Amino acid sequence: MKIYKFDSIIVGGGLAGVRAAVEIASKGYKICLLTLLDKLIRSHSNAAQGGIQASLANTTESIGDDWRVHAYDTIKGSDWLADQDIVEEVVKLAPFLIREMDYWGAVFSRTDKGLINQRQFGGATYPRCVFASDGTGHVLMNLIESRATCLNIPVFSRRQALSLILDGVKVVGVTTLNLVNGEIEAFLGNAVILATGGAGLLYKETTNARTCFGDGMTIALETGLAQIGNPEFVQFHPTPMPPRYILATEGCRGDGGVLLNSEEKEFMWDYSSMKGNLASRDVVSRSMMREIVAGRGIEGFSTTHLWLDIKRLGYEHVATKLRDVYFLCRNFIGVDPTKEYIPVRPAQHYTMFGVKTNKRCEAYGIQGLYAIGECACWDLHGANRLGGNSLLETVASGYIAGQKILENLAKDKIQICKDGLVEDEIKRQETRIKNILGKKDGENVYRLFSEMRGIMSQNAGIFRNGQDIEIGLAALNKIFEKTANVKIDCKEIALNLELQLALRFSGMAKIALCVMKSALLRTESRGSHWRDDFPKRDDKNWLKRTLASFPIGVQEPEINYEPVKITLLPPGDRGYGEKK
């Protein structure tokens, strides 16, 4: 039985997790990072192309921008569900965080004057998206890993966190499966930070990578104590490229690219008279689906799609400023975007929901537990996230959680927990694995997984309605029942992809149920959550945040709500001129 002790444990080696680790380690505390992958830079943050928002206001086009405008844009984008205190704190921090990363050596694209350059993104009043060509996430992961190397932060790679070790309502550590040797280990610390990223794999068509299972959310939910905030809010990006839904960054439209239908008409102005191609993602995705439903889509690339035209930007621009898109188009879908249109169709992209925390990233319901990055919902994004705000969220929440933990570590350093607690939890996980491996017949986990993803895309997708959701809920319940009866073919403990999925699957099904049920209950349309049967936003009844939990022994999530505080900007029109 391997037991490691640190001051704090960070589960997740993406931008959020490593940023927090850097904050804590720089003050000399002992911290460790756990990741499913072999190296920090492999984390999904790496795939972010477009950029990170901060109101630097240092180019001629962005004069007049400041934290207030950034805050207003964020709140409008969120359709007023965001926590305005948190919005204010984060957008105020943004320029500092960007300049700090630049100081550390980030390679941001520059203006002619040598200042940090910024580009336009959907839903933003000014061009304030700081970028590094279109490999922003990659550059930031390089940077943050270089900081971790410099501070000598231990990284435990190829580890799958399985559960939280609780002492009453206090977390004292996590158990993990060492993927390479199959051992169950425990990592103990005064604080546990969940930074495991989003849960895009709940959906069949997604831009997310293969580790976006939402493990942090599931292990928190499975304690029965934590809450998932706003599970009904899932973002669909307008411009992934079928058939595999690799993303063409929003920067394409930010730089002047336009969406076209089968008649090669720029249809977005018919749906959003004010912002056209640059309306927020929920509006653009819905408009595109309406075009497709109206029969103005194009058959091909294994689906019905629309076109994205960036060839009008010219070869020079595409080959330099949108170089990764150029690269992806040529290599992955065989299209030359300097000469041809790019096929695009909306797909799942981002989970606004996550482990519900307060302003200091402390999870509801469990002491010592923190959640940051896409895995969390402290509520910066509300009902819809603005492009470029989630990279910002990763570094901001990493920084804020780091500060909070430092504060606590300075107060008490000794960790006392009841005898046998850790050993019991390790044994519990070992038994769980033994049971799964020992099962002779039962359900195939890959089949259940793919069924669940299909249901989520079908019944909790871009357009929702009561009837479909009811059907989805019933189907999910069936799948959830079957999760107890999962059988796997490969019987090894180590290096077994099937076992890795089986261990997280029942938790994932619980999250799916939370999404479906809260989508059913929210009888309005707000941000990314669209109900055909309730097409209007209803502030009187629904200006409130959803809190879902899954008490132990219960078959269905419990849904509660908390009010939204309005401090900066009262609810109003989003100003996109969306025709419904």
Partner 1 sequence: MNDRKLIVKIKRISGRIRREYFNDFIVDEQRGMSVLALLDEIQTGQDSSIYYDGQCGCANCGICAIKINGRPKLACKTQTADLPYEIVLEPLDFFPIVKDLAVDKSEFFNRLEQKMEAWVHRQKEFNPEKEDLMVPELADALYENERCVKCGICVSACAAASFGKFIGASGCITAHRFLQDPRNEDLGARQKLINILSSDDGLWGCHAIEACDNFCPKEIPLGRQLALARKETLKILFKEWLGLAKFWRRK
Ligand X SMILES: Cc1cc2nc3c(=O)[nH]c(=O)nc-3n(C[C@H](O)[C@H](O)[C@H](O)COP(=O)(O)OP(=O)(O)OC[C@H]3O[C@@H](n4cnc5c(N)ncnc54)[C@H](O)[C@@H]3O)c2cc1C
Contacts with partner 1 by CB under 8 A lie at: 37-39, 41-44, 46-47, 95-96, 99-100, 102-105, 107-117, 132-133, 135, 138-139, 142, 145-147, 149-150, 155, 157-158, 180, 209-211, 243-244, 246-247, 301-302, 327-328, 331-334, 446, 488-490, 492, 494-498
Judged by beta carbon, residue 50 or residue 461, the one nearer ligand X is 50
Reduced to 3 states (helix: H, G, I; strand: E, B; else coil), residue 496 is coil
CA torsion through residues 553, 556, 557, 561, sign = negative
| CA–CA gap between residue 574 and residue 527 (Å, rounded) | 10
> If phi over 0 gives left and psi between -120 and 50 gives alpha, with beta otherwise, what is residue 36?
alpha
Reference 387, options 140, 39, 74; nearest CA is: 74
Report helix angle 466-482 to 497-521, nearest 10.
150
Chain positions 204 to 243 lying near ligand X, rule: CB under 6 A, are: 207-208, 211, 215
Q: Does residue 48 touch ligand X according to CB under 6 A?
A: yes
In angstroms, give the least distance from the CB of 234 to partner 1.
Answer: 20
Q: Which residue type is seen at 117?
A: N
In angstroms, give the least distance from the CB of 213 to partner 1.
Answer: 12
Judged by beta carbon, residue 473 or residue 501, the one nearer partner 1 is 501
Reduced to 3 states (helix: H, G, I; strand: E, B; else coil), residue 120 is coil
Strand partners, 116: 110
In angstroms, give the least distance from the CB of 63 to ligand X.
Answer: 23
Using CB distances below 5 to 8 A depending on partner kind, what does residue 197 bind out of ligand X, partner 1, none? ligand X
Binding residue (CB under 6 A) for ligand X from 8, 9, 17, 225: 17
In angstroms, give the least distance from the CB of 137 to ligand X.
Answer: 5
Task: Indicate if 305 belongs to the active site.
Answer: no
| CA–CA gap between residue 477 and residue 540 (Å, rounded) | 31
Binding mask 188-207 toward ligand X (x if CB under 6 A, else -) reads -------xxxx--------x
Using CB distances below 5 to 8 A depending on partner kind, what does residue 15 bind out of ligand X, partner 1, none? ligand X
Q: Does residue 159 touch ligand X according to CB under 6 A?
A: yes
Using CB distances below 5 to 8 A depending on partner kind, what does residue 259 bind out of ligand X, partner 1, none? none
Judged by beta carbon, residue 230 or residue 525, the one nearer ligand X is 230
Binding mask 348-367 toward ligand X (x if CB under 6 A, else -) reads -xx-----------------
Task: Indicate if 253 belongs to the active site.
Answer: yes
Reference 368, options 5, 23, 9, 4; nearest CA is: 9
Binding residue (CB under 6 A) for ligand X from 10, 22, 52, 308: 52
Q: Does residue 396 touch ligand X according to CB under 6 A?
A: no
Judged by beta carbon, residue 65 or residue 578, the one nearer partner 1 is 65
Q: Does residue 90 touch ligand X according to CB under 6 A?
A: no
In angstroms, give the least distance from the CB of 90 to partner 1.
Answer: 16
Reference 230, options 334, 342, 115, 357; nearest CA is: 357
| CA–CA gap between residue 429 and residue 91 (Å, rounded) | 41
Chain positions 376 to 395 lying near ligand X, rule: CB under 6 A, are: 387-391, 394
CB neighbour burial string for 217-234, b if at least 16 within 10 angstroms, e if fewer:
bbbbbbbebbbbbbbbbb
Reference 183, options 426, 499, 380; nearest CA is: 426
In angstroms, give the least distance from the CB of 180 to partner 1.
Answer: 6
HSE on the CB side for 46, CA within 13 Å? 15
Catalytic residue among 128, 138, 159, 237: 237
Binding residue (CB under 6 A) for ligand X from 12, 127, 238, 346: 12
| CA–CA gap between residue 125 and residue 574 (Å, rounded) | 12
Which DSSP symbol is given to 367?
B
Q: Does residue 35 touch ligand X according to CB under 6 A?
A: yes
Catalytic residue among 19, 70, 147, 253: 253
DSSP H helical ranges for 215-348:
215-221, 251-254, 268-271, 281-293, 315-320, 323-328
Judged by beta carbon, residue 67 or residue 370, the one nearer partner 1 is 67
Residues contacting ligand X: total by CB under 6 A? 45
| CA–CA gap between residue 372 and residue 14 (Å, rounded) | 10
Cβ atoms of residues 49 and 134 within 8 Å: yes
Using CB distances below 5 to 8 A depending on partner kind, what does residue 115 bind out of partner 1, ligand X, none? partner 1
Cβ atoms of residues 366 and 220 within 8 Å: yes
Judged by beta carbon, residue 172 or residue 559, the one nearer ligand X is 172
CB neighbour burial string for 311-339, b if at least 16 within 10 angstroms, e if fewer:
bebeeebbeebbebbbebbeeebebebbe
In angstroms, give the least distance from the CB of 481 to ligand X.
Answer: 24
Site residues, ligand X (CB under 6 A): 11-17, 34-37, 43-45, 47-52, 136-137, 159-161, 195-198, 207-208, 211, 215, 247, 349-350, 373-375, 387-391, 394
Catalytic center residues: 237, 253
